[in-house]
Chain A
Amino acid sequence: MIAAWWHRRYSTRETLLALLFLAPSIAVFVAFFYRPFLNLVYWGTFESRRRGAFFESVGLRQYREQLTSDDFRQGLWHSIQFVLYTVPTGLVLGILLAVAAHRRLKGIKIFQAIFASTIASSVAVASVVFFFFLNPTVGIFRVDWLNNPDMAMFAVALSGIWRHLGLSFIIVLAGLQSVPDEVLEAATLDGYGPVRRLLRITLPLISPVLLFLLVVLVIFGFQAFAEIEILTGGGPAASTETLVFKIFRLNTPDSIGIGAVYSVGLFLVTLVVTGLQFAILERRVHYGD
């Protein structure tokens, strides 16, 4: 009977072929995504003894202790700081650039290319550029932000903002181009000025795009690593040690249990933040039809 049901719905050859086609991806996802994650969850229940010579199972105690430790909170706070510095500014600048360049003028393509150009720079390139840009001796501004605990995170965030300008611009511009002209014409006939048209019509219409950009920027923000390692190395006085940076350093045998807890913590944080964004903003977002 099962055989009859099977043959009515599927063909064995097709199923085997599908398995063959999916096998490489599944192998990679199991080996380098799911299994490592489950490993980390498991490792989090082991505390290192005698500098990692052996590990003792302590159950969830390590999770309780480490997720409430000052060090974890510090890393989390620095990650949030980075996100707070980069995301709103990035969104606003992306909208500003896109609105400025969404026009029918001669030569506008040149300006669009310039605004999008920062996607050409990798995170390492942008960090080198900003390292010397902000260098107190050879830099343009002669400021010592990178060695000032109060300003270091802001300086690191500057390079992040600049690097993502191109991406924000491209995404918002694509959104603006999808707004039908008739809608704006109708608004104009109703006596809406340019500013009101932008705030009341255009931005609400492209809110799905803005939500997408917001989520992308927040995720990038929580994952930032290279700019921190290159620009400040976590310093000064650990003022730029974000969660990812701390995780990167916790790879030694005597700290891998803590590192595992931190990794799971990072996973939960991104999951919660992204989920919240969708849950809160989804209701306000206009998806059209």
Chain B
Amino acid sequence: MAIDARPDEPVGPAQPTAPAPAAEAESAAALGEVTLSGAALGVGPRAAAVTVGRSPLRRTVGMIGQYAVLVALAVVVLAPIALVLIQALSSPIRYIAAGLPLHPVGIDWKDRTWWSGGAASVILRSLVILVALVWLQLRVAGGRIWELSRFRERPVLALAVAAGWVAVVLTTNPIFAALADGSSNAPALVLVAVLVVGATQLIGFQAGARSWWAALILAALAGVGLVAVVVICFGAAVWTDAWTRADLGPAMVQSLILTILITAAQLVTATLAAYAFTFLRFPLKGLLFAFFLGTLLLPLEVTLLANEYTVRQLGWTDTYQGLVAPFAASAFGTFLVRQGFRGVPPEIRDAAQLDGYGHLSFLWRFAIPLTRPVIASFTVIAALAAWNQYLWPRAIIDQASHETAQIRLRTLVSTEVAQSNQAIAAALIVAVPVVLLLIAFQRQIIRGLTAGAVKG
């Protein structure tokens, strides 16, 4: 495959490749994340260039060094989030010098059971766990989360999901209680929970994983992960406190509606405009396209004052139309979708024309389906930007009850340090939808972000 050695060096037999840390390598391979075969490992062009003519020992050392660098960098990148998560889950009282008359928010573990807190929260909690379990089982079985038909082919997967849900509910309940009481049984209960939950997942994994010990490792990881997430996310009172004190519920709903409206509006206007620029003949096309691209030079930061004036004149403060209107069209989106439309083969267009398809039906039946990846990328990027935007809502929202989630975070920062863990918890909650989008649409996001940077 790759060039093996420099001309003046003897070409030796293929060296055995150094094993990566077993657990990680196996779990990654079994999860289907890494598609490299053992042969590709370490003999790719880049690796070959580095390792040519070296002894296996030096190669192993080199590989460990590479992993060490990667781990160190990962620690640096994750440090702010990790440290802040710890901060959210600990009471600020231990940071505060004695004698300050503050009322710190404790990090209580809710002394509740699975069945308290109302039907809605029970259903929501159960749903989150069920989705996580389905994802785990399907992923290990080599499928995607929406390929639910696999459950019919392998009923054992459904059994694992059901058993996993029961196990999580039954075994985490006593942990909540023990943590709330400060009982010393908590570590033992956690261990039991991990073992039981892991065992239920093993039922499904052992059908899908590559080897029995890979299944075992995966089951152990799943047990630890599920129990940790459930206890930290559902047990710690700081999340519910942050949710209620910051009034995040209505704010998140507003942000969600706003995101959907802006994304839908941009999708419609950009697709129509891109269609006109690609498939229709009309005078002054070049000039109009320049008119579109020219808006990229006029970001909201520049036109802020005049736009704020317009919206206030219209009486659109604190309204969805005021929040959406300036973002209802997108030059970037038009450009991106136009690039996609240009890739539609002319033969298809001619054939569709001969078959009597009009422009609207051609757009709907051919152009959009053929450029779905590009449109998907643009949709996700637009949704991310809309959810994350700050300056415009900040400028035209006057009433606290109409604030978006991002704006609401600002009010939490100014509160006293005794409640810092609540503010951090609220920030992490606001980031959750984005994290879910990222996990679900990784590829589309990367394509959208790099659309301007790399050709092709």
Residues of A within 8 A of B (CB): 9-11, 14-15, 17-19, 21-22, 24-29, 31-37, 39-40, 43, 96-97, 100-111, 113-125, 127-133, 135, 137-138, 140, 162, 165, 167, 170-171, 174-175, 178, 181, 184-185, 188-189, 191, 194, 197, 208-209, 212-213, 216, 219, 222-223, 225-226, 229-231, 244, 247-248, 250-251, 256, 259-260, 263-264, 266-267, 270-271
Contacts and interface: CB of A to CB of B under 8 A. Distances in A.
B309 interface: yes
Contacts of A213: 453
Contacts of A10: 281-283
A11 B272 CA distance: 18
A216 B45 CA distance: 32
A37 B303 contact: yes
B452 interface: yes
Chain A residues touching B, majority SS: helix
A118 B73 CA distance: 13
B29 interface: yes
A31 B310 contact: yes
A128 B409 contact: yes
A132 B66 contact: no
B291 interface: yes
A100 B430 contact: no
A14 B391 CA distance: 39
A208 B453 CA distance: 7
B390 A174 contact: no
A251 B307 CA distance: 11
Nearest to A10: B281
A229 B417 contact: no
Nearest to B410: A230
Given A109-B33, A212-B453, A213-B453, A21 B388 contact: no
* Range, interface on chain B: 35 or more
A194 B69 CA distance: 15
A29 B329 contact: yes
Contacts of B83: 133, 140
B128 interface: no
B456 to A, nearest CB: 8
Interface stretch (B165-173, B232-240, B294-302): B294-302
A107 B35 CA distance: 10
8 contacts: A24-B269, A29-B292, A43-B306, A104-B47, A125-B406, A132-B424, A174-B453, A175-B454
A36 B310 contact: yes
Contact of A36 (B269, B303, B452): B303
Contacts of B127: none
Nearest to A110: B28
Given A124-B406, A174-B446, A248-B391, A129 B81 contact: yes
B50 to A, nearest CB: 6
B74 A32 contact: no
B388 A106 contact: no
B362 to A, nearest CB: 12
A28 to B, nearest CB: 4
Nearest to B303: A36
A247 B305 contact: yes
A267 B297 contact: yes
Given A132-B424, A140-B83, A162-B80, A22 B273 contact: yes
B6 interface: yes
B325 interface: yes
Nearest to A41: B306
B41 interface: yes
Interface in B81-99: 81, 83-84, 87, 92, 95-96
Interface string B391-429: 100110000000000110110110001001001101110
Contacts of B295: 29, 33-34
